[in-house]
A = this chain, B = another copy of it.
Amino acid sequence: MAQHARNPDQTRESLLLAAFEEIYHQGFRQASLDNILRRTGVTKGALYHHFPNKMALGYAVVDEIIVPHGETRWRRLGDESLNPIDTLIEIGEEEPFPFARDVKLGCPINNLAQEMAGIDAGFQERLNRFLDRWRNAIEFALQRGQRAGQVRHDIDPREVAAFMVGAFEGAYGLAKCAGSEEVLETCLNGLKSYANSLRAMEATP
């Protein structure tokens, strides 16, 4: 039989992308390897040459696709030249993922976290680590803002950070269930108002 083009990196990459799609639409446990193979034209032998099992493929999707892309969103929070509240609001207004074309699919990270937490420790640890780093990034940015006089001093940065991440993921979750861009807009507007309420009062000179 005609062998396909032999390019291991490319094969691996297309498997990761197809697996991401399948997992994003179906969840990890409902994701079918046969579907992924059908999507790519890769055969089962090739798949199991690159990954020892389904779990490892799932972990690779998280480690190499979902998490790196998610992190680019809040990386900017570390920029000390910016007002952290402005940055938070900008982040909220951006398109979340290039993946997430459709609000009906929700947030890939939240989807997986809700599905796999309590089921598989490997997934849970990866996703929780991501969410924890996200919370920390916000927390540190708010602390910096407090020192710079941009953020109110009567708020607890750790508490606000956890609340904001929760509210953000919750907004995408609600919108997914509602299947509605409008619900997402409404929730995110609420989040934006909240973020603005964290600003330190301008000292009117």
Q: How far is the CA of A159 from the CA of B127 in the complex (A)?
A: 29
Q: How large is the interface on A (under 10, 10 to 19, 20 to 34, 35 or more residues)?
A: 35 or more
Of the listed stretches A13-21, A60-68, A75-83, A184-192, chain B binds A184-192
Q: Which residues of B contact A191 (CB under 8 A)?
A: 163
A173 and B113 contact, CB distance less than 8 A: yes
Of the listed stretches A3-11, A33-41, A44-52, A175-183, chain B binds A175-183
Q: How far is the CA of A201 from the CA of B172 in the complex (A)?
A: 32
A177 and B117 contact, CB distance less than 8 A: yes
Q: Is the interface of A mostly helix, strand, loop or mixed?
A: helix
Q: Which residues of B contact A127 (CB under 8 A)?
A: 177
Q: Which residues of B contact A115 (CB under 8 A)?
A: 27, 114-115
Least distance between A192 CB and chain B CB atoms (Å):
9
Least distance between A145 CB and chain B CB atoms (Å):
16
Verify if A42 is at the interface (C-beta below 8 Å from B).
Answer: no
Interface residues of A (CB under 8 A from B): 25-27, 29-30, 104-106, 110-111, 113-115, 117-119, 124, 127-128, 131-132, 155-156, 158-160, 162-171, 173-174, 176-179, 183, 186-187, 189-191, 193-194, 197
